[in-house]
Amino acid sequence: MSIEKSDWIDNNPNLHNPHLDGDSFFWKAGPVGILLSHGYTATTAEIRPLAEKFYEHGYTVFAPLLPGHGTKPEDLNRIHWKDWVRTGRESLQKLFDTCEQVLVAGESLGGVLALYLASIEPHVAGILLYAPAIRTPMSKLDYLKLYFGAPFLTQVGRASLDCPDVWQGYSGLPLKGIIQLLRFQSAVRQRLLNIHQPMLVFQGRKDATVGPEVGNIILEGISSEIKEHHWMEKSSHVIILDAELEQVAVASINFIEKITAPLQMGR
């Protein structure tokens, strides 16, 4: 099974590290599939190293390039958060058509998408979250600046990038897109009680993008009985590109094996 290549522009000047491969990919392997989604302003280059670990262990992996990403910042200002959901649902269906069991996973924005998909699709077998951006630490002044500035500024710069040598995406932050992310966060927080699947959450101690409380917000809000929360002491927001990728991958695979084995035995 394959997917059509998106409107990817080689050596796109709008991207940090344009030489990296950040397009959608579908890697067919075993009967357990994982929908793995990237973060806000990023591309699938962000999640490719973890996807490779999953694929090496026999898991089918689908990583879609989310709408508004991988082209130019203006495109991210034109989307609605439901566009991300639509892509996620279509991708999830492809995995349901291909695999016996399907999990959802994501970094940052991708984690928010994974939560939403699990809340509307009870057949999702499990959830893996990497620095999920369920809430963004912003002051009232930050909100005012965002809403007043969005009509006039395409994007604003940021002081630094996590893992800049291996991360790909827009160097700035498209403002109208951030507003959609905030609305998406709110919509997902209202749906947490609908989530019953086993969940694994990773957070980095050096994360300056989302607050330390996001893991507890999620784990205390869901209805799941199986929950795991891991703090990675040396990692930034982009946990799956940072120094503890190997440990994150091992813990993720152990969790997947634990929650899918009983389902396999019951068939």
Catalytic residues: 108, 207, 237
Q: Are strands 173-174 and 126-130 parallel, antiparallel or unpaired?
A: unpaired
- The three-class DSSP label of residue 26 is strand
Return the percent helix, strand and coil in the chain, to nearest 5.
Answer: 40, 15, 45
Question: What's the angle, vertex CA 235, arms to CA 171 and CA 32, rounded to 5?
Answer: 90
Q: What count of residues does the chain have? A: 267
Asked if 232 contacts 240 with a C-beta cutoff of 8 angstroms, the reply is no
Helix (H) or strand (E) holding 37: strand 32-37
- What secondary structure, in 3-state letters, does 84-140 show? HHHHHHHHHHHHHHHCCEEEEEEECHHHHHHHHHHHHCCCCCEEEEECCCCCCCCCH
Distance between terminal CA atoms of the chain? 25
d(CA 102, CA 114): 12
Q: Which residue shows structure tokens 């929950």?
A: 227
φ, ψ for residue 90, nearest 5 deg:
-65, -40
